[in-house]
Amino acid sequence: MNASVIGGGSWGSAFARYLGALGLPTRLWIREEEVIEEALRTRENKTFLPGFAFPPAVEFSSDLPGTAAFGQLVFVAVPSQFCRSAYRKLAPALRKDQIIVSLTKGFDQKTLRRMSEVMEEVFSPHVRPRLAVLSGPSFAREVAGDQPTALVVASRDLGAARAVQGAISSLTLRAYTCRDVAGVEVAGALKNVVAIASGISDSLGLGLNSRAALITRGLVEISRLGMALGGKRETFSGLAGIGDLVLTCTGELSRNHRVGQQLARGHKLEEILSGMKMVAEGIHTTLSARRLARSRGVEMPISEQIYQVLYRGKDPREAVTALMSRKLKNE
């Protein structure tokens, strides 16, 4: 079985490296010319995943349609704001016997659709491949370093989910399956917003009590909106929900957590973005979460305060005060 990975950032590179280490012939599509030249020369992505050499089973390509056609399994690890464009370019090359797996955690900014919904929309005029989503607590560097990791493969087509599960599971990565695509995708996207809040809290020195409260109440917000969008309650207690949320809110490798830290130190959003090589999805997801919450009548006070800090210049300490002074209520 051949595998394709679309996206040469840290997660796409780490996952391609992992698949190659399993012995799967893997083709990695890299957009940036300087990054692919570096990979061809050194067999390493020193820009986004330094310190990890790619195994011989991994090859590199700048040909997006050709890479998409290469694999029976096609993993798409492109930031959410670029996904629709990437899907359009690879759609004509897809076949109905392929399984397309989204690794992206975010929403389409214009339509507020989940990534698998955008795939269905873009692919359907061309072909209808089988679709799945892969999510869960997974820092790229730890997957690249063969640290034990557990993930969930979600698909309405349980056969497709099991095919992906069997192909990627090993002694260092254990995959579970489920049918709740909506819950898995919403949880994976929204946890990044709460991670920004956690980074603010940690940088302000508010302590472990505050972090625990943010994670717990953040999970409530994620569950509320997730169920309003069709997710199942039990999904938010699993790997894609609380598992990914805890990791992203506490791990030093979390880009979204670092964004929160920078905000608490007085840096403006434009300044933070200009200093980042990799995308912190929570910045864009905050806007989507606010629009979705308002359209569905879902209360999300943490997400609202992160919006105010990111896009309205609110002082992070004032955001904390706003959360702590809300009307008292039952849990």
* Phi/psi of residue 138, nearest 5 degrees: -155, 90
**Nearest CA-CA partner of 17 in 134, 136, 142, 111:** 142
What DSSP letter does each residue of 172-187 carry, written as one string?
SEEEEEES-HHHHHHH
**What is the spatial distance between Cα 231 and Cα 233, in angstroms, rounded to a whole number?**
7
> Is 191 designated active site?
yes
The catalytically annotated residue of 89, 96, 191, 268 is: 191
**Nearest CA-CA partner of 105 in 266, 297, 288:** 288
**Nearest CA-CA partner of 123 in 76, 70, 62:** 76
DSSP SS3 for 100: strand
Q: CB–CB of 162/180 below 8 Å?
A: no
Secondary element (H or E) of residue 99: strand 99-102
Q: CB–CB of 158/179 below 8 Å?
A: yes
* Phi/psi of residue 279, nearest 5 degrees: -85, 135
Provide the pairing of β-strand 99-102 with 3-6. Answer: unpaired
* Phi/psi of residue 6, nearest 5 degrees: -100, 110
| Helical residues (DSSP H) of the chain, grouped into ranges | 10-21, 33-42, 64-70, 80-90, 115-123, 140-144, 158-168, 181-203, 207-228, 244-250, 255-264, 269-274, 281-296, 301-312, 316-324
**What is the spatial distance between Cα 246 and Cα 228, in angstroms, rounded to a whole number?**
22
Residue 142, Cβ density class (10 Å: 0-12 exposed, 13-18 middle, ≥19 buried): middle
Which residues are tagged catalytic? 191
